[in-house]
Structure 1
Amino acid sequence: MNASSPAPTAQAPTTENVNRAVRIIKVVVNAGVGQSGEPRQKAERVLQMITHQKPIATRSHSTNRDFGIRAGQEIGAKVTLRGPSAVDFLNRAFEARDRQLDSDSIDRNGNFS
C-alpha cells in the first residue's frame, strides 16, 4: 500500500444478514410432576388442552429413594411443537404474559425457558 492511496473504509452493508433473523425451530412444552398415576395424567390433559397435541410421557433416568421414584417410571409429560403450531403457541403464550419477557429467561445461546 503506497502513501497516496486512501485508507480502506468500512462500508455499510447493502443487505441484511439472513442469519441474524430470529427463527423458531421448535417449542418443547414440559410438565415434570415427579410421580406417576393421576397427577401425571392430569399434567398430560393440561398439556393437550394448551397445545392441541397429544403429549408423550417422560421417564426417570435413575432411582431416587428419597422421592420414591424408580428408574424408568413415567413422571412427567412433554409436547414438541414445530412450524406454524409452534409460532401460534408462542403468540398465545406471550399474550397471556402481556407480551413481556424476563431477560433472565433467555440464555446466551438464545434459548428461552
Structure 2
Amino acid sequence: MYQLKDLYLNEIKDKLSKEFNINNPTLIPKLEKIVISVGAGEYAKEVKIIQNIADTISIIAGQRAVVTHAKKSVAGFKMREGMPIGVKVTLRGKRMYNFLEKLIVISLPRVKDFRGISRNGFDGNGNYSFGLKEQLVFPEVVYDDIMVTHGMNITIVTSTNNDKEAFKLLEFLGMPFAKGR
C-alpha cells in the first residue's frame, strides 16, 4: 500500500513544480506529518474508556497513541492538572502515506452520505484539518471491542505556507474534496 508515495515522487512533484513554476526542488510542497487526535470530553475521568480510545486510535494509525494530560486546572470544565483529556498520534514517513492512502481509498467512501470533505479546512499556513464523526469507518476497528463511539480530528501538515499549493498537493494525492467553492 505504498502507491501514494511512489505517485508523489514520480508524478505529483513534477506537476506541482510546473503548475506553480517552482525551480528549487526543496520548495516543492510535500506532506510533513499527519496528526490524529481525539478529545475525551465527558469520559475524561473514565480511565478504561480513555485506554480503549487510545487502543482504537493505535489500531487505526498503526502506531502507538499517546494519552494527553491537562496542563492546567480549569474549574469551569471540572478539570484538574494532570488529568487525561485526550489521545493523539503523529504519523510521519511510510506510516503517514499508508494511513492517508487507507483514508482516501477505504475509509472516506464508507462515511454515510459522503459527498466529499470540505474545502474550508485550511488554516492559512498550508495545513488542512477535518473531522470524522465516528471511528467505525476504518476497517480495522472491531465493533465489539469499542466501549464508546467517538470522532477524531485529522490534521495534514504540509511543507508549504500557501493554502493554494497545499490544496493542489492534496487534490493530486486523491483527496476527495466536495464540489463547489
Instruction: Specify if TM > 0.5.
Output: yes
Matches within 5 A, 1:1-113: 16-17=22-23, 18-19=25-26, 21-34=28-41, 35-36=44-45, 37-95=47-105, 96-98=107-109, 100-113=116-129
> Match for 2:120: what amino acid?
D
Cα separation, 1, equivalents of 2:108 and 2:36: 16
Q: Tell me if structure 1 keeps the 8 A contact 2:72–2:81.
A: yes
Q: Match of 1:104, SS? A: coil
SS at match of 1:66: helix
The code of the aligned residue for 1:33 comes to A
> TM-score if structure 1 supplies the norm length?
0.74
CA distance in 1, matches of 2:22, 2:29: 13
Rg: which structure is higher? 1
Question: Which deviates the most, 62-71 or 81-90?
Answer: 62-71
Q: What are structure 2's unaligned runs of at least 5 residues?
A: 1-20, 110-114, 130-181
Does the 8 Å CA contact 1:94/1:100 hold for their aligned counterparts? no
Rounded Cα–Cα distance in structure 1 between residues aligned with 2:126 and 2:117: 13
Counterpart amino acid of 2:98? Answer: D
TM-score (structure 2 length as normaliser): 0.49
Please tell me the residue identity of whatever aligns with 1:52: G
Partners in 2 of 1:47 and 1:82 — Cα distance?
15
Q: Residues 60-96 of structure 1: CA distance to partner in whole angstroms, max 9, x if unpaired?
A: 1221223321012111111111101101111111222
Give the drift of 1:19. 5.0
Q: C-alpha distance in 1, partners of 2:34/2:26?
A: 19
> What's the C-alpha RMSD, in Å, of the aligned pairs?
2.1
Over the matched positions of the two proteins, sequence identity in percent amounts to 28
**Unaligned residue ranges in structure 1 (runs of 5+):** 1-14
- Tell me how far apart the structure 1 counterparts of residues 117 and 89 of structure 2 sit (CA, whole Å): 22
Indicate the structure whose relative CO is greater, using CA pairs within 8 Å and at least 6 residues apart: 2
